Amino acid sequence: MKQLQTVFHPIYSQLTLPKNHRFPIDKYQFLHDKSRAVFSDSIYVNEVESPVTKETLGLIHSKEYIESFLTGNIDPKAMKRIGFNWSQQFVDRTRYAVAGTIKTARLALEHNIAVNFTGGYHHAHPTFGSGFCVFNDLSLAAKVAIEESLASRVLIFDCDVHQGDGTATCVEDEQSIFSLSIHCEKNFPSRKQQSDFDLGLEKHLRDKEYLTHVKDALLSALVAFKPDFIIYDAGVDIHVNDDLGLLNISTEGIYQRDKMVFETARAHNIPIMAVIGGGYQRDISALTEVHFQLIKAAHHTFL
């Protein structure tokens, strides 16, 4: 029986946060549980066996930054910029999450598609973290795929509502990695970086116009760059009810976006992996349903 390959570790949702912290840490476990309940035998969950190594992190990040975070010697101001307090629990959770995205890349290149139940830490720069992101899992997965000769030209297709500023700086000198960010222009981060292709959208954009932009950008990148692997950040903070979004995209619009991205990759015979990206509704059940559109689209497209 054919199964959709996914990646998960319970530690994804295991982080003790202060009351009323903005980050919805429980959503990963909720999404995993809902996906297993709905698709049962037609979804296979691969567990992350071990945390990402310092050597792998060093493919993108500076040795000094890696060491400071892993050992807890990082400047408190740097942790404030990331948005979490330092703890060993947070270090472990971060390393497993990044390892999960890298594992997802390898699975996608073997099975044509795979989805990580976390990921999308695109605000992490080579020497510092930002916006809930410590290490840039998207850039690391792309770099590992190239280093292991699993792919030669990787497109990072980022549809999170916030610009992938960290990804832009992480891969700016990588000729084999193309960074593309479709985001709300007047949103975090205030200081944008230069991706290989940026599309800054106006606030309050709705489904029809948004989907046209996404489709046109993806097709243009495929023609211009000719990737043989796609890393897709399927952020749902574009949703009309998202607390940090500023776009007005419906749940159905998100499903149509994800379905279109997967169908386009399949039509061009390009392996694709996805991470769930950002989503910040405080109602975890409602947020889970929006993220679930990615799993549903992947399942319906490839199985």
Catalytic residues: 123
CA dihedral 134, 222, 7, 160 (to 10 degrees): 50
Residue 266 near residue 302 (C-beta atoms within 8 A): yes
Both tokens of 295, joined, read 């799993």
Rounded Cα gap, residues 36 and 44, in angstroms:
9
Distance, CA of 44 to CA of 6 (rounded, Å): 6
Describe the strand order of the beta sheet including 113-116 as a list of residue ranges: 43-47, 4-8, 113-116, 272-275, 229-233, 154-158, 177-184, 197-201
Question: Structure tokens of 28?
Answer: 């990963």
Burial letters 257-286, b for 16+ CB under 10 A, else e:
bbbbbbebbeebebbbbbbbbbbbbeebee
User: How far apart are alpha carbons 145 and 127 in whole angstroms?
Assistant: 22
Fill in the amino acid letter for 270: I
Q: Retrieve residue 264's tokens.
A: 């386009």
Beta bridge partners of residue 130, listed in sequence order: 133
The Cα–Cα gap between 128 and 112 comes to 33
Question: CB under 8 Å to 9, separation ≥6 — which residues?
Answer: 47, 48, 96, 97, 100
Sign of CA dihedral 247, 24, 101, 97: positive
